[in-house]
């Protein structure tokens, strides 16, 4: 038996005899051997007996070390069940307060029962040690994983954080503070399930006035209020969660410095850096978790509703390979077979509703299936083509439009009249058909033209208190829904006429028309390939699958962003995305025909600048999702209130950031 062969592997200075295949006899032999060699250190005994039950356990390899104890593999010889045994020598807890600490840990931990908390099985002691038998997590801890990996990807961080929050929420509901949340105390099971463990510093939550003011925990993860001896609350665990998230994403704690005094200074000031390599959602969540004032940190219930989780992919499972290497998203043949069946059920033919939702859940959560999509995308990447910039469109306004401009600008300075003529004319230069996969100068020319128009309006527009009277919006196309999956695939969006588009990370673009049957594919400037979902070319199967996935996800999970409507056009889509940019306040989207949309996160207001009948129009969707559309020339003459002007100025700054 492999188990008994392992038992027989004694230290070099011990007997080389093989243990008998009878566990009870092995136990007796070891006890006799211990008596005959009483001079040997007690902690070296391989076989340990519970005096109360008579059960024998075999001590295995060291799993970890702590201040008072070491943790070993421990196997029940009667059942072969493996535990993680925390072994504390009596000599290490000889003082009353030390023993009280161990007793408190046992009393707190033994009553906890949650799938994301390390399970407490049993404890006993003999004349040498105290033994605490815990759930064995064969993948060790997140500290071991990060040591091998250096940094983790955002989907992995979502996966682990979701489980940490679940376990931590349970602890807080039991009025228990962990007080030592760190990577080394998050253990990973054989099935890659995370468990919160090590309750050596845990304590019951006390009323605000009676909270413990002892400074305890790991220095890099201490909160400002703990350092300032203001007491521990649930907010201190939330702070530590922010440190954990930061460390997983960047490979180092947020307040780590060359000396402890400086680290504590940074913690007290909540001073840390957030590199631009992180997504804006990750930066926002970390900033909220590491808020200096405890009351400003989010509640656990709110954390999983943050954009970091809702706007990004979160796998249901991770492959074991993630413990030692970055995911290559390789899936086995059975997973491929499953994915094909799931995709067929989701995207083709008639669907049973229950099976549909079951399949949809798998597609949105199952890690291996999503990884398969990414694998397909890698096979269909098209090399970025170098193309010549198109010549200017050369459109001219109609005579009636010119006369209207002349009448409305009479008496104004010549520079203002020129700006209004540019706004009315709507000349977009080379932007009539361009794509992100083209030379950057093409996209830049679109951005520069729109920025010039918007700047001209803002520089000459008077300040007023009331918003001018709006006009009809016509057949306006704008983005009603969007999903940022750029950490894997690209940026997806739905237009108001129900066309769904995806700007892939490889620079190509696909649109699924409102008929849900026709696909338009843009790989080169001005070149559009058209095919049908019933007959997808082999090289596009992966991308079409992702396109449909985006469409279904937005249809089932997202609500429209306002009240504007437009008629679906089943012919060539007029809009496809050239560029998108996210800041901590807003999302900017720039389209091929110069349509420019900015969505503001905090109040869900939106600005849409586009051309209709050779005239620039600006649509504003307010907090109540009610829209107003204005001729830009009217705004330039009549002005607009401060809140709209501020949004226009911010939009211009985002656009200028793209131009630069």
Binding residues for ATP: 86
* All residues at 6 or more sequence positions from 464 whose CB lies less than 8 Å from its CB, including other chains: 638, 639, 640, 641
**Tokens found for residue 434:** 């361009």
DSSP state of 295: G
Q: Is the distance from CB of 99 to CB of 130 less than 8 angstroms? A: no
* All residues at 6 or more sequence positions from 361 whose CB lies less than 8 Å from its CB, including other chains: none
Residue 153: closest CA among 359, 321, 372: 321
Give the C-alpha separation, 400 to 421, whole Å: 13
Residue 169: in which H helix or E strand, if any? helix 154-173
Q: Is the distance from CB of 126 to CB of 49 less than 8 angstroms? A: yes
**Tokens found for residue 316:** 């249901």
Give the C-alpha separation, 4 to 26, whole Å: 9
CB-count exposure of residue 2 (10 Å: 0-12, 13-18, 19+) = exposed
Spot the catalytic one: 180, 237, 369, 484. Answer: 180
**Tokens found for residue 370:** 């999503």
- Chain-centre distance for alpha carbon 337: 28
Which SS3 state, helix, strand or coil, does residue 569 take?
Answer: coil
- The sign one gets for the Cα dihedral 610, 611, 617, 619 is negative
Bridging pattern class, strands 586-591 and 596-600? antiparallel
CB-count exposure of residue 162 (10 Å: 0-12, 13-18, 19+) = middle
CB-count exposure of residue 284 (10 Å: 0-12, 13-18, 19+) = middle
- The sign one gets for the Cα dihedral 256, 257, 258, 259 is negative
* All residues at 6 or more sequence positions from 261 whose CB lies less than 8 Å from its CB, including other chains: none
- Chain-centre distance for alpha carbon 299: 18
Query: First-to-last CA distance in the chain?
Result: 69
Catalytic residue list contains 440: no
Q: Which residue numbers are catalytic?
A: 180
């Amino acid at each position: 038996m492999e188990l008994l062969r392992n038992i027989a592997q004694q230290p070099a200075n011990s007997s080389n005899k093989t243990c008998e295949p009878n566990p009870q006899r092995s136990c007796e032999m070891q006890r006799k051997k211990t008596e005959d060699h009483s001079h040997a250190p007690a902690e070296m005994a391989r076989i340990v007996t519970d005096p109360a039950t008579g059960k024998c356990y075999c001590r295995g390899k060291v799993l970890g070390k702590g201040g008072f104890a070491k943790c070993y593999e421990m196997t029940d010889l009667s059942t072969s069940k493996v535990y993680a045994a925390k072994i504390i020598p009596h000599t290490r807890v000889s003082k009353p307060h030390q023993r009280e600490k161990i007793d408190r840990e046992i009393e707190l931990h033994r009553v906890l029962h949650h799938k994301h908390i390390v399970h407490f099985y049993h404890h006993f002691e003999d004349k040498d040690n105290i033994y605490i038998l815990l759930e064995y997590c064969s993948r060790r801890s997140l500290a071991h994983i990060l040591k091998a990996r250096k940094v983790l990807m955002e989907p992995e961080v979502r996966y682990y954080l979701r489980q940490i929050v679940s376990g931590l929420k349970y602890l807080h509901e039991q009025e228990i503070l962990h007080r030592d949340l760190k990577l080394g105390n998050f253990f990973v099971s054989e099935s890659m399930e995370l468990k919160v463990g090590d309750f050596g510093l845990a304590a019951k939550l006390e009323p605000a006035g009676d909270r413990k003011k002892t400074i305890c925990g790991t220095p890099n993860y201490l909160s400002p209020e703990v350092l300032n001896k203001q007491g521990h609350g649930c907010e201190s665990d939330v702070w530590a969660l922010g440190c954990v998230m930061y460390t997983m994403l960047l490979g180092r704690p947020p307040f780590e410095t060359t000396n402890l005094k400086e680290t504590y200074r940074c913690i007290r000031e909540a001073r840390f850096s957030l590199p631009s390599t992180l997504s804006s959602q990750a930066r926002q969540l970390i900033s909220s978790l590491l808020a200096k004032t405890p009351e400003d940190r989010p509640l656990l219930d709110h954390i999983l509703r943050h954009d970091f989780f809702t706007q990004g992919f979160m796998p249901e499972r991770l492959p074991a390979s993630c413990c030692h290497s970055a995911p290559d998203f390789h899936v086995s043949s059975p997973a491929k077979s499953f994915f094909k069946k799931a995709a067929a059920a989701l995207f083709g033919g008639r669907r049973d509703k229950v099976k549909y939702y079951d399949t949809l859940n798998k597609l949105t959560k199952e890690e291996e299936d999503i990884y398969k999509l990414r694998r397909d995308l890698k096979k269909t990447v098209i090399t970025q083509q170098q193309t010549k910039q198109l010549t200017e469109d050369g459109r001219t306004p109609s005579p009636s439009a010119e006369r209207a401009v002349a009448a409305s600008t009479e008496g104004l300075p010549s520079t203002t009249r020129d700006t209004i003529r540019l706004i009315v004319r709507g000349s977009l230069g080379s932007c009539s058909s361009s794509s992100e996969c083209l030379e950057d100068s093409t996209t830049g020319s679109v951005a520069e033209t729109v920025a010039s128009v918007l700047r001209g309006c803002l520089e000459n527009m008077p300040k007023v208190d009331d918003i001018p009277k709006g006009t009809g919006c016509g057949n306006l196309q704008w983005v009603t829904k969007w999903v940022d999956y750029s950490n894997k695939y690209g940026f997806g969006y739905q237009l108001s006429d129900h066309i769904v588009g995806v700007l892939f990370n490889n620079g190509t673009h696909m649109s699924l028309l409102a008929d849900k049957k026709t696909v338009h594919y843009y790989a080169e400037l001005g070149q559009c390939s058209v095919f049908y979902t019933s007959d997808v070319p082999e090289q596009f199967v992966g991308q079409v699958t992702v396109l449909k996935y985006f469409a279904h996800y937005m249809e089932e999970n997202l609500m429209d962003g306002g009240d504007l409507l437009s008629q679906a056009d089943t012919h060539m889509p007029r809009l496809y995305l050239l560029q998108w940019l996210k800041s901590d306040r807003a999302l900017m989207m720039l389209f091929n025909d110069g349509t420019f949309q900015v969505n503001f996160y905090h109040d869900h207001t939106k600005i849409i600048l586009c051309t209709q009948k050779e005239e620039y129009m600006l649509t504003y969707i307010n907090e109540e999702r009610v829209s107003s559309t204005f001729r830009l020339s009217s705004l330039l003459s009549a002005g607009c209130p401060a809140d709209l002007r501020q949004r226009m100025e911010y939009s211009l700054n985002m656009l200028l950031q793209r131009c630069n």
